Structure formats: C-alpha cells, structure tokens
Amino acid sequence: MRWDIESLNAELAAGRTTCAQIVETALERASDPAGEGRATFRKQRSDAARAQAKAQDMLRDAGAAASPLAGLPVTIKDNIDFAGDVTGGACKLLEDAKAATSHADVVTRLNAAGAVIVGRTNMSELAFSGIGYNKFYGTPANPFDRATRRIPGGSSSGAAVSVTDGMAVAAIGTDTGGSVRIPAALCGLCGFKPTQARVSRDGVLPLSLALDCVGPLARTVADCAIVDSILSGDATPLPTLPGPFRFRTADNFMLADADDPVRTDYGRAIETLRRAGAHFAPLPSGAFAEIEDYIRRGTFANAEAWERFGAAIEARPDHIDSRIGERILRGRSITATDWIRNQRDRAAMMARFESAIAGFDALIAPTTPIVAPPIADMEDDDKFRIANSLILRNPMVANLLDAPSLTLPCHAPDEAPVGLMLIGPRLSDLRLLGIGAQIETTLRT
C-alpha cells in the first residue's frame, strides 16, 4: 500500500483499510526496536492517536471527513506547542521548561482537519543546524544506506525520517535557513517553505522571528500542497499550468563546491526539463552578493538566538552541543549597526530578485550541494562546520528573500537522494506548488 495521502484515501474509500489500521501501522513502525523510532521521536502519543483514529473512522463512515488528512498519522516537530507537552526544541537547556498551556495555531488547524498527531519529532537542538545531528537525544539515520548511517539533515531531522519510514504520512517542520527542505532533500522527500506570512507561527519556539517559517514534509508535491492548504487556511486548488516553463538559474553560486552526485543529478534534471520545453537563463551576476557580508557580520538567527538563549548557554554550557552553542554565542558580538546593515542588504537583495524573476516562473537549483555524509563524520568539529555551512548555503537564500521554496527528489532509484529546489516570487506559493507537481511528473516519466 502506497504511503501517500491520495493513495491512503483511495484505500479508505474502497474499504480496504481503516484509519485505525493505518495509525496502528504507523505506531508499530515507530515502536519497532530495530527501526529508527527511538531517535525519531521525542514523544509518542500512542493511546490518544488510537482513540482519534477510531473517531475519524466513524466520521468517515458518516461521510463527514473534515479533510483528506482526516484520520491519517502526522508528526509535529519538538519546537511546536502541544497543550500539556514541554516544547523542548530537542535541547537539554529546555528540559525543565513549563508545559504549553495551549496548542500552536498549526496544531489547532491540524486537529480541525482531523489529522492524527502521533508524536513530536526529534530535531537539531533549538533548530540551529542543517545537519540533524543531536548529541543528547540521538540522530535518526537517513533511510538511504542505513549500513553507513548517514545524517538525515536538519533541523527537522525526525520529521523527515517519520515520513520515509512510514511512521506518518506527513510531518510539520520549521524552516529558518532550510530546515524543512534540507532533510526532505537528503532523505528523498518533498518539502515546502511558504512565504512567511501565509502560515501562523504562533506557538512555535522561535529561532529567528525575521526568518522562521512552518511547512510540510511529505512524499509528493500534492501531499505538501494538501498540508499547506490546512496550515495556511487557503483551500484554493493548485493551478494547472501548461508550460513551457521559464527558469532562472544561479549555478555559479548554487553549484559551487558541489559533489559529483549532485552535479550529475541536477544536470540530468535540467536536461530532462529542457527536452520538455523549459527555458533557462542565469540570474544577473551578483544576485546574492550581500550574503557573504551578512554571514561575516552575523546573521539574524545568530542575534535573535543569543538574545533568547545566550544567558542559559553561558550558565549551563554542558547542556548544549558546543557547535550549536558557539553559533548562538556568535550573536553577542553583533551590533545594532550590523543588524541595520543586514536589514538594508536583505531588502536590496529581495528587490533585485523580484525584478530579475519577473517574466520567469522560478529559480531552479540543487537544494544542497552535497549528499548526506555519515553521522560518524559529524563528531569531528571541522567536518561538522564544513558540512553545515555547505548544506545551509543554498536553501537559506529563500528565507532571506521571504520567498516560497519547494524541494523535490531528482535522483535515480537506489542512488543517494538529491533535491531539486524551486524558489518563486513572494506570495507565488500555489503557483510554485503547481509548477513543482508538473516537474515531479516530468522527472518520473
């Protein structure tokens, strides 16, 4: 049985399965001692999920399913409030925090849609790494090449593995510099970062209020679109776009230091789309020229995380991975002038991109320039820092642009997962998802 929303709804409609059976299968996979459930979840909701699934079966029998997600298992990231749970951000610094007294807005929307939230997923500490490595709570292994045990990508690491391993049909993650799209790409899934204002962040533990977004990880673009419609409250159907599409590229930036698998798979995807009639033109030189100085001065996330967590880290440095801690402590040296320059440079880059993308459908690029390295390598500080910098480089562009961005797989079967990333103009979210769905079909044929 295919583990995507459309297929499971077809099975339910035909009476070949029930929500209770689907959720039980997800829970069994999450609890399998030979699987990745222990490192994937911070908390499971087994009994509550079973009860919800049975209730949704009764509603479906009465023809009252609230959405295509009704009765299906979904996970939420450990930085999203669920009433009665501690929102720990998978960080020991927050283990003694008070439990949330209310649901995050996105949880309320999922509940209204009938989704069955089966648990809270593990993540990079405080969402401040693209690796997905967690020193204290374990790192779930990438589904590709489990013998080697590769990183899942982060920060929404458990979110990705919960979907690849059939513990959920979709997962809700957060994306400040790629944290939905990176694990989706490295694990062979689709992931979507919306324009920031479309999805509420109320009840989400902030990393950077300037950049944070909430978005879905799922097996298909269509599944991401279904979940996005629930999270955003926008039920507008995806547009049917005839093409041929016109894409901007930024290969001089996005392909720098790329490894061979990424270059090969990205090149093959571009050629496939070109044969289907797509047109490609590079962005003008210097499209992202401000990023180097932005990183050198210190980022929005550096500054905001220092203000929020810096005192706790200084008081209890042994309660956080030192590589995460050093990134947060970097924020104490950022001045008001640095912050203003970052805002000014961001505005210039956004305006330049919106002008350059006019008349084009999207920017197209590899989601990350490298495939997932082994988890064991990430115990080496230098290898961790190099991989983290490379993995974050491409997807962080969309966060700085406040632009919608989608990743979908472009690798061949049995190869290391490689993601193909689209970045559209601000508020072109549904159009971008529609384009992504057609690219997905083109690449599969």
Active-site residue set: 77, 155, 179
Bridge partners (DSSP) listed for residue 364: 249, 422
Specify whether the CB–CB gap between 57 and 100 falls below 8 A: no
Residues sharing a CB contact under 8 Å with residue 371, sequence separation 6 or more, in sequence order: 150, 186, 259, 261, 262, 416, 417, 418
- Cα 142 to Cα 115, 151, 280: the distances in Å are 25, 6, 32
User: Residue 61, Cα to own-chain centre: how many angstroms?
Assistant: 34
Specify whether the CB–CB gap between 224 and 241 falls below 8 A: no
Closest CA to 4 of 63, 68, 56: 68
SS3 per-residue string spanning 51-113: HHHHHHHHHHHCCCCCCCCCCCEEEEECCECCCCCECCCCCHHHCCCCECCCCCHHHHHHHHC
Full strand arrangement of the beta sheet holding 73-77: 41-44, 116-121, 73-77, 170-175, 213-218, 190-193, 405-409, 419-423, 362-366, 246-249, 279-282
Residues in the chain, total: 445
